[in-house]
């Protein structure tokens, strides 16, 4: 067998062992459980910055150097090992240095002899400096935490901004609807104006074609309204326009699209009504209007032109037809429906 060391005496071999220990571990301790004497290597003192051999050789020296926050944990581990609950003793904790700062060490120990009653007769262990390693770990944990906090606050800010944006969008959508409805509404009568006529009629033409339903367009105009204005004033005229609007609106269906074309002219789109059916409805409207006394001093009548959509009609074709028929109603003496 190959031998590395040849010692002529036990004290020689002790010397070698101590030197080796001094090189490979930083601080060796050797506790005699019966005398309670703890022998510590020079490295043990050097690691903590103390003058070699300055402390009393007992366990209290060690206990007094342990950081108060770590003390219960260390003792718990130590007790578990000594009592046989745990197979190993290895614990990391902070030890007080000569300059009152604390050094992170790992402490490992092994019972090398027990008394017949099971109590520890001798235990040997070593301290190793792990301060840099723990500091690096702590730094990393701290950085991770900062990163996490940063991420969290970023997420919070994004969520807040998203919420604010959604709110702004809602407000904007409401404003758009508001503006659109103002733009498409006649300010005097509060019904639709001619702005959306083309798109409304187009929509209904597409539906009429798709479902092969009839569709009829109506245009009506107040008779001799100029005279009413001239005689009773513009304000009375306005009032009459509003009252006629209300009467018509109350006597047509929700699906019918009713708009003020301009001046004293109005249009109605009657989806799913034939010319004949629309004629009957308009006749009813004509009577209601003519019977209605807007004020004590003025009453009006209306003339109606009616035209049903024919397949292939453009909006213009239909409109021209209806306009001609309104003209006919006027020509034939007013206060009548022409289809």
Ligand X SMILES: Nc1nc2c(ncn2[C@@H]2O[C@H](COP(=O)(O)OP(=O)(O)OP(=O)(O)O)[C@@H](O)[C@H]2O)c(=O)[nH]1
User: Site for ligand X (CB under 6 A): which residue of 204, 264, 275, 313?
Assistant: 264
In the structure encoding, which two tokens stand for residue 66, read together?
Answer: 């342990």
SS3 content of the chain, % helix, strand, coil (to 5): 50, 25, 25
Interface residue with ligand X, options 32, 86, 224, 336 (CB under 6 A): 224
Q: Pick from 43, 237, 271, 305: which binds ligand X (CB under 6 A)?
A: 237
Interacting residues of 122 by C-beta distance below 8 A, sequence separation 6+: 30, 31, 32, 33, 111, 112, 113
> How many helices (H) and strands (E) would you count in the chain?
10, 10
91 in helix, strand or coil?
strand
CB contact at 8 A, 109 and 30: no
Q: Which segment (126-134, 172-180, 192-200, 215-223) binds ligand X by CB under 6 A?
A: 215-223
**Residue 301: phi, psi to the nearest 5?**
-125, 170
Question: If binding is defined by CB under 6 A, does position 204 make contact with ligand X?
Answer: no
Structure tokens at 163: 């919420």
What is the distance between the alpha carbons of residues 230 and 227, in angstroms, rounded to a whole number? Answer: 5
Q: Which stretch binds ligand X (CB under 6 A): 12-20, 104-112, 216-224, 278-286?
A: 216-224
Q: Which of 107, 223, 264, 313 is catalytic?
A: 264
Residue 294, SS3 per DSSP: coil
70 is catalytic: no
Asked if residue 222 binds ligand X (CB under 6 A), the reply is yes
Q: Which residue is nearest to ligand X (CB)?
A: 237
Rounded Cα distance, 219 and 85, in Å: 102
241 near ligand X, judged by CB under 6 A: yes
- Find out whether 248 and 331 touch, Cβ atoms under 8 Å: no
- Give 219 or 273: the residue with its C-beta nearer to ligand X: 219
- Encoded one letter per residue, x for contact with ligand X by CB under 6 A and - for no contact, window 50-89 reads ----------------------------------------
The interface with ligand X within residues 303-332 (CB under 6 A) comprises 330
Is residue 145 close enough to count as binding ligand X by CB under 6 A? no
C-beta of 150 vs 262, nearer to ligand X: 262
Torsion 41-55-35-108 (CA) sign? negative
Minimum distance from residue 225 beta carbon to ligand X (Å): 3
Is 185 a binding residue for ligand X by CB under 6 A? The answer is: no
Distance, CA of 169 to CA of 157 (rounded, Å): 18
Q: Is 226 in the site for ligand X (CB under 6 A)?
A: yes
Angstrom distance (rounded) from CA 278 to CA 338: 11
Query: What are 32's strand-pairing partners?
Result: 122
By the rule CB under 6 A, 200 interacts with ligand X: no
234 part of the interface to ligand X, by CB under 6 A: yes
How many residues lie near ligand X (CB under 6 A)?
16
> Of 188, 206, 255, 332, which lies in the binding site for ligand X, with binding defined by CB under 6 A?
188
CB-nearer residue toward ligand X: 114 or 334: 334
The residues, ordered by sequence, that sit 6+ positions from 59 with a Cβ below 8 Å of its Cβ are: 31, 36, 38
297 forms part of the interface with ligand X (CB under 6 A): no
Give min distance, CB of 332 to ligand X, in A: 12
Select 218 or 241, whichever has its Cβ closest to ligand X: 241
Burial class (CB in 10 A: 0-12, 13-18, 19+), 239: middle
Binding site for ligand X (CB under 6 A): 188, 221-226, 229, 234, 237-238, 241, 263-264, 330, 334
Active site residues: 264
């Amino acid at each position: 067998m190959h031998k590395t060391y040849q010692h002529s005496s036990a004290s020689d071999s002790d010397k070698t062992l101590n030197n080796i220990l001094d090189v490979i571990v930083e601080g060796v301790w050797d506790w005699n459980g019966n005398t309670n004497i703890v022998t510590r290597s020079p490295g043990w003192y050097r690691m903590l910055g103390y003058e070699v051999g300055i402390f009393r050789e007992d366990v209290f020296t060690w206990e007094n150097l342990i950081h108060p926050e770590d003390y219960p944990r260390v003792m718990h581990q130590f007790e578990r090992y000594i009592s046989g609950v745990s197979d190993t003793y290895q614990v990391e904790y902070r030890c007080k240095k000569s300059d009152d700062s604390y050094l992170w060490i790992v402490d490992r120990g092994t019972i090398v002899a027990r008394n017949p009653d099971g109590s520890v007769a001798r235990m040997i262990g070593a301290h190793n400096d792990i301060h840099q390693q723990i500091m690096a770990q702590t730094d990393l944990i701290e950085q991770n935490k900062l990163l996490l906090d940063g991420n969290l606050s970023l997420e919070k800010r994004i969520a807040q901004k998203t919420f604010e944006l959604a709110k702004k969008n809602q407000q904007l959508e409401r404003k758009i609807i508001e503006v659109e409805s103002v733009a498409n509404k006649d300010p005097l009568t509060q019904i639709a104006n001619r702005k959306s006529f083309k798109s409304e009629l187009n929509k209904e033409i597409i539906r009429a074609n798709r479902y092969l339903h009839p569709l009829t367009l109506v245009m009506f105009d107040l008779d001799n309204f100029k005279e009413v204005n001239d005689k009773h004033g513009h304000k009375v005229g306005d009032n009459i326009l509003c009252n006629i609007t209300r009467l018509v609106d109350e006597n047509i269906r929700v699906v019918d699209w009713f708009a003020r074309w301009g001046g004293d002219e109005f249009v109605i789109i009657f989806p799913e009504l034939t010319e004949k059916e629309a004629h009957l409805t308009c006749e009813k409207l004509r009577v209601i209007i003519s019977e209605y006394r807007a004020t004590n001093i003025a009453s009006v009548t209306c003339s109606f032109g009616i035209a049903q959509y024919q397949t292939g009609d453009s909006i213009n074709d239909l409109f021209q037809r209806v306009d001609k028929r309104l003209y006919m109603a006027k020509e034939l003496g007013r206060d009548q429906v022409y289809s």
